[in-house]
Structure 1
């Protein structure tokens, strides 16, 4: 499971200024954003590699660190790192090149490319990728670097406050997320992710991306202890419901989901307990796109307890 990491206000503001300069350089475009225009502006190159044809990475790379693996003039070691770490994309600062896994479905390329563009925009990431001893990739450091690239990529793809304004002016529903998915040209999963983060600054929202929740539709490798690919918390949800686990939420969601092969699997009001032990009502709905189940939980209010006299 990957829980979204919320950046400090200072870091988010610094990254956002860099994204703003890019969008201004493109004339503040309308959605959907053309990543080829971004690459052209930033003078970035893009190439693909596949397991059967790794030629894109079989080149001399002066010095690069990929998740704690140091590469010195050894292209084969980079390819070994890609395979061992199951990397789906990476950025080579020496070459100003983004490499994408060509074996992935094309719809996943857009987010992966934006994430790597995010790395290229953040100057201290180049220090990390070049093996700077002051920026060693300990697990918490690696998570922070990836969260920063995710933030930059998301702010690019969703055109900064353009998406935020539309999300805040809309009702928080799966149907609105599907509508914004079509308008901004990003996947349903990334749209759900971004919607929860930006529309949940002043109210608790929670999202999950999982396999099919119904018991009859779960895959053989389903892990009951870690059922979610992504567990997405709005800032206020993370602050008030930090003790609520993905497993608790998933099990509650599975209780209302049907076994349909696609579309809306169900919806229901669920009661979640905050960090103070108080109960609160959320409205949940789950949509299955035949690959992932997307769940959105929206805060309704405190659950009043009736005590008999």
Structure 2
């Protein structure tokens, strides 16, 4: 499970200012954003590779550090590094080139490309990616760098305040998320992720991206880590940070049906905050045939009856 990292306010503002300049340079376009226009503005090149493509093996790398692994210049070819690190996308700063894994489904290309554009926008990321021999990238630092690139990608693909304004004009439901998914041209999963972070600045929202929760349709999975992502809105993280993932997944499973797709059910659940207080949340779960998307929206405190 990967809980989303809440970035410091100063970092958020700096990255957002960079994204704002890009969108202003494009004339504040209407959704969906054309990433080819972004690459042209930034003078970025895009290429594709596959793990078995010998052509790309002609390209060598000086130094690239990914997920705390340093790969140094030697007779090593780029394709070897891609295979070893199982890379799905990467950015080569010295060549201003984005490389995407051509074997991935097309719908995944858009987010991966925007993520690498995010790396290119943040100057301190170049130092991390091309670092030196004496410093390794810790897990915590890598997590921070990836979270920053994800934030930049989200603000770019969802056109900053354009998405915020449209999201907050709707009810916090999966139906609204599906509507915004179509309008902005991004995947349902990334729209789901962005909606929770955007809508939940003041109102606690929580999201799970998991396998099918119904016991009859669950694949073999790690019972201690049942969710691929546990998405906290800023307001949720401030008050419910101690909530166990397993406990929440099992509570969601209690109302989910065994349907093959679409809505799996909805229910009001009681969650405990970090101080032991109880609160009501409205939950609903939707299965898109790949992932189950579960949205929990804060309703209010659960008052005890004496």
| Short-chain TM bin | over 0.9
Write the deviation string for residues 203-254 of structure 1: whole angstroms up to 9, x where unpaired. 100001111111111112x111101111100001001001002211111111
Within-5 A mapping of 1:107-256: 107-132=107-132, 136-220=136-220, 222-256=221-255
Q: Report the 3-state secondary structure (helix = DSSP H, G, I; strand = E; otherwise coil) of the residue aligned with 1:197.
A: helix
- Show the counterpart of 1:293: 292
Within-5 A mapping of 1:279-290: 279-290=278-289
Q: CA deviation at 1:136?
A: 3.5
Q: Report the 3-state secondary structure (helix = DSSP H, G, I; strand = E; otherwise coil) of the residue aligned with 1:229.
A: strand
Write the deviation string for residues 10-43 of structure 1: whole angstroms up to 9, x where unpaired. 0000001100110011000000000011011111
Change (3 A) 1:260 1:25: same
Distance in structure 1 (CA, Å) of the matches to 2:124 and 2:259: 47
Distance in structure 1 (CA, Å) of the matches to 2:163 and 2:14: 19
Q: Report the 3-state secondary structure (helix = DSSP H, G, I; strand = E; otherwise coil) of the residue aligned with 1:113.
A: helix
Verify the 8 A CA contact 1:284 1:295 in the aligned structure 2.
yes
Change (3 A) 1:175 1:127: same
Verify the 8 A CA contact 1:23 1:159 in the aligned structure 2.
yes
Q: Which runs of 5+ in 2 are unaligned?
A: none
Distance in structure 1 (CA, Å) of the matches to 2:21 and 2:134: 28
Verify the 8 A CA contact 1:127 1:135 in the aligned structure 2.
no
Distance in structure 2 (CA, Å) of the matches to 1:158 and 1:22: 13
Q: Which moved more, 1:195-204 or 1:67-76?
A: 67-76
Verify the 8 A CA contact 2:115 2:150 in the aligned structure 1.
yes
Distance in structure 1 (CA, Å) of the matches to 2:154 and 2:109: 14
| In the alignment, structure 1 residue 306 sits paired with structure 2 residue 305 | yes
Verify the 8 A CA contact 1:128 1:135 in the aligned structure 2.
no
Q: Report the 3-state secondary structure (helix = DSSP H, G, I; strand = E; otherwise coil) of the residue aligned with 1:217.
A: coil
TM-score by length of 1: 0.95
- Show the counterpart of 1:274: 273
Distance in structure 1 (CA, Å) of the matches to 2:85 and 2:224: 23
Q: Report the 3-state secondary structure (helix = DSSP H, G, I; strand = E; otherwise coil) of the residue aligned with 2:297.
A: strand
Distance in structure 2 (CA, Å) of the matches to 1:57 and 1:100: 15
TM-score by length of 2: 0.96
Verify the 8 A CA contact 2:51 2:79 in the aligned structure 1.
no
Change (3 A) 1:54 1:277: farther
Distance in structure 2 (CA, Å) of the matches to 1:223 and 1:92: 35
Q: Report the 3-state secondary structure (helix = DSSP H, G, I; strand = E; otherwise coil) of the residue aligned with 1:147.
A: helix
- Show the counterpart of 1:96: 96
Q: CA deviation at 1:101?
A: 1.0
- Show the counterpart of 1:71: 72
Distance in structure 2 (CA, Å) of the matches to 1:3 and 1:99: 27
- Show the counterpart of 2:260: 261
Verify the 8 A CA contact 1:63 1:70 in the aligned structure 2.
yes
Distance in structure 2 (CA, Å) of the matches to 1:50 and 1:299: 44
User: Number of residue pairs matched?
Assistant: 305
Change (3 A) 1:177 1:84: same
- Show the counterpart of 1:13: 13
Q: Which runs of 5+ in 1 are unaligned?
A: none
CA RMSD in angstroms comes to 1.4
